[in-house]
Amino acid sequence: MSRVHTIGIFGGGQLGRMMAQAALPLGLRCTFLEDAPDCPSAVLGAVYTREQLAEFAQSADIFTLEFENTLLSDADQLLHSKTLYPPRQALATAQHRLLEKALFDQLDIPVAAYRRVDSEADLGAAVEQLGLPLVLKTATGGYDGKGQFVLREHAQLVEAWQSLGQNTPLVAEAFVEFSRELSIIAVRGQDGTVKSYPLAENHHHHGILSHSIVPAPDSLALLSTAQDYITRLLNHLQYVGVLTLELFVTENGLLANEMAPRVHNSGHWSIEGAVCSQFENHVRAVAGLPLGSTESVRPSVLVNIIGQHPDTAAVLALDGVHLHLYGKSERVGRKLGHITVMPNDSTQISVLLQQLGQILPEPLSLPQ
């Protein structure tokens, strides 16, 4: 394979931006396919609109993506002449919850009981089979809690169908009683090498990630199982790049929730907190370079900045925090940046989180 000089990225949001930032020290440039000209990635490379897909295809040596809902038609047009990592099958599977669950079943990765729903009658049957509460989800689309309806009683059946029924097929999932939400991020190189990061414990607020604790407390006994599950996926898909698997901790062990064929919000801590970040390892894999160490430097907590920007000086006055702003305008529920908390003295993490809870306009699930 000839040396890669430029990587084309489907999407120009903050994930593309952080990939491009990781690529620069390796002597690699990035271009982006993104309809918003003022996107976060625009400061780091040329931005092409979807109408310029042909020009985008000529702008780079190899291609990747920052968002699993990248249009398959765009990917297919590119694949006539160029290579895309992760592979198309991973992208197509992650875009359709029923395909994803079928893959998990095939690889013996346990998931919550589920049923396909194509009609209101199907939904009624699913309620009888799975019990209540259950979660009704669109099979395609949906992000940060969107495209979902939690059905808690029979009286909500019509409302649930009216809310999502125009988006069939749907997936009805048995409600999972879980104690924690975890994620594991791993990377697979073009030579088949697999490396995984420590488990993250994720805390959400109204469907949006608030913060991630790494390594997840009391998770050593779960790590090998999580590594096994994600390695099955990586090898089956002949994957190249970073893959994320979201997991529930239940009384019966780990259940898979969903996979994301990309770098992941719960891995942003790795920029400072790991020997080699998820972004650099993704770039290395896509470019055919050796993978870096996924070991953590020391315990870290990733904190999202949502909706409103904090006082930059107040954040930076705290010892042991790293601030990343994405260059995005304020909007309710929008991810504007993140903070990595990793003081030299890890016993100070809880104190720093409380201080950030006072500083951030939207503290989400941080302790107050």
- pLDDT per position as a tens digit, 29-43: 999 999 998 999 999
- pLDDT per position as a tens digit, 104-120: 999 999 999 999 999 99
Give percent above pLDDT 70 in the chain. 98
Three-state SS for 129? Answer: helix
The confidence band for 121, taking pLDDT boundaries of 50, 70 and 90, is very high
CATH numbers and ranges of domains, the chain: 6-84 (3.40.50.20), 113-174 (3.30.1490.20), 180-359 (3.30.470.20)
Instruction: Write out the H or E segment, with its range, that includes residue 21.
Output: helix 14-23
What pLDDT shows up at residue 143? 63
Instruction: Write out the H or E segment, with its range, that includes residue 212.
Output: strand 208-214
Alpha-carbon distance 172 to 160, whole Å?
A: 11
What pLDDT shows up at residue 105? 98
Bridge partners (DSSP) listed for residue 182: 201, 247
For residue 238, is pLDDT > 90? yes
Q: What is the mean pLDDT of residues 316-329?
A: 97
Give percent above pLDDT 90 in the chain. 94
Please, which residues have CB within 8 angstroms of residue 256's CB and are 6 or more apart in sequence?
104, 109, 110, 111, 229, 245, 246, 247, 248
For residue 144, is pLDDT > 90? no
Predicted model pTM = 0.96
In a 10 Å sphere around its CB, with 0-12 CB exposed, 13-18 middle and 19+ buried, how is residue 255 labelled? middle
